[in-house]
Structure 1
Amino acid sequence: MASDSTPRYTVPGLAVQDAASLIEMLQQRLNSLNDLHLTLKHVHWNVVGPHFIAVHEMLDPQVDRVRAMADDVAERLAALGGVAYGTPGVLVEQRSWKDYSVGRADAIAHLGALDVVYTGLIEDLRAAVRTAGETDPATEDLLIEQLRDLEQFQWFVRAHLETAGGTLSTADAPTEAAAARKAADR
């Protein structure tokens, strides 16, 4: 991978230096989305228990949309003059988070862990929206659309974890593994 992410050209009206910052940020978004896609499929394949079919079937549309999001991010990155690195090696080398650690588990445990995964992803995406908004409304718009979808997916997950009184079983869980345990124990 090239150590210099400065493009030789970019879209009209955007400085090359601004494009370089956006490219770097979008590469992290691409890594996050590729990781999420694989994590969602992992859960899809390893979920068990009485809520199996509901969770199993809920995840496939999320997987499809997340894959489309990754494609949109990679194409925007390329339009800005960058190179979209989508290999597993780059993802693992550049990510700042640990691999999803829950294996075969009850549906509610997986959903608890996914709640934490979505929270981290959404927090990072909100920061990326702010960054993009400073220089490029087209990239900002792309990210805002993805933010809406990811927040909806987290809402779907949280609906399984919420009590009638509005309390999340995963509240204050610091890690996905802790959230999985808290959700399974409720």
Structure 2
Amino acid sequence: MTFTAPGLSDDATKKLISVMQERLSAFNDLHLTLKHIHWNVVGTNFIGVHEMIDPQVELARGYADTLAERIATLGGSPRGTAKAIEEDRSWSDYSVGRDTVQAHLGALDLVYVGFITSHREAIAVAGDIDPVTEDILIGQTAELEKFQWFVRAHLENPSGELSNAGANSEAAAADQAR
């Protein structure tokens, strides 16, 4: 590496950049998934959900930018290409096409479960290396959890049970939520 932030070793920085690159690709994929849902959601409550998704798209795009700039600040070269998303991907492509509000929200809830879980893992790595990056990831996670709460409010019954509870795939979550 040609440079990194003062006080960070090259090896620690390389590890941190690798974790942030995966999260950058995940955010780029998330914003595309959210736009896909935005364009393909139909049925009752369409407009409310259609409009609820746009701020989530903008947040994901902004968070991708924040991580890319942090990677550059640490001396790395952020990769924001479609190929980077494919190479960094450890998750499946979003599987629901044109479908109901409930189906998409059921599937999106699982997307958020996976995304937030992975973000928490990145927080753990960053916490051992760099509190600045850890702080960035923590703040992002708080907002992502709030958006998941918005999604889950549509899936929850008065007893607090989720219509997609126990589903282990987007397709199953969509089926259960319908």
Interval of TM-score (by shorter of Structure 1 and Structure 2): over 0.9
Which residue of 1 is the match for residue 28 of structure 2?
A: 34
Tell me if 1:65 matches 2:59.
yes
Q: Distance in 2 between matches of 1:106 and 1:130?
A: 36
Residue in structure 2 matching 1:11, options 5, 21, 31: 5
Q: What one-letter code is carried by the residue in structure 1 that aligns with 2:111? A: V
Match of 1:88 among 68, 82, 87: 82
**Pair 1:44-2:38 in alignment:** yes
Once the two structures are superposed, residues 55-104 of structure 1 have per-residue CA deviations (whole angstroms, 9 ceiling, x without a partner) of: 00000011011100000000001111111000001111220111101000
Q: Deviations over 1:20-71 (max 9, x none)?
A: 0000000000011000000000000000001100100000011011100000
- Give the TM-score normalised by the residue count of structure 1: 0.94
Which residue number corresponds to residue 4 of structure 1? none
Instruction: Report deviation, 1:11.
Output: 0.3
Which whole-Å CA distance do the structure 1 matches of 2:2 and 2:19 have between them? Answer: 17
Q: Match for residue 151 of structure 2?
A: 157
Normalising to structure 2: TM-score of the pair?
0.99
Aligned to 1:124: 118
Percent identical across equivalent pairs?
57
Q: Distance in 1 between matches of 2:129 and 2:90?
A: 25
Displaced runs of 4+ in structure 1, greater than 6 A?
none
C-alpha distance in 1 between matches for 2:93 and 2:82: 12
In 1, Cα distance between equivalents of 2:3 and 2:11: 10
For structure 2, the residue ranges without an aligned partner over 5 or more in a row are: none
Unaligned runs of 5+ in 1: 1-6
Query: In structure 2, what is the Cα distance between the partners aligned to 1:10 and 1:40?
Result: 33
Tell me which residue corresponds to 1:136: 130
Q: Is the 8 A contact 1:102 1:110 kept in 2?
A: yes
Secondary structure of the corresponding residue to residue 97 of structure 1: coil
Aligned-partner SS, 1:18: helix
The residue aligned with 1:107 is 101
| Matched residue SS, 1:167 | coil
**Maintained 8 Å contact 1:27/1:77:** yes
Equivalent position amino acid for 1:33 in 2: F
Q: How far did residue 16 of structure 1 move?
A: 0.9
Residue 138 of structure 2 aligns with an amino acid whose one-letter code is I
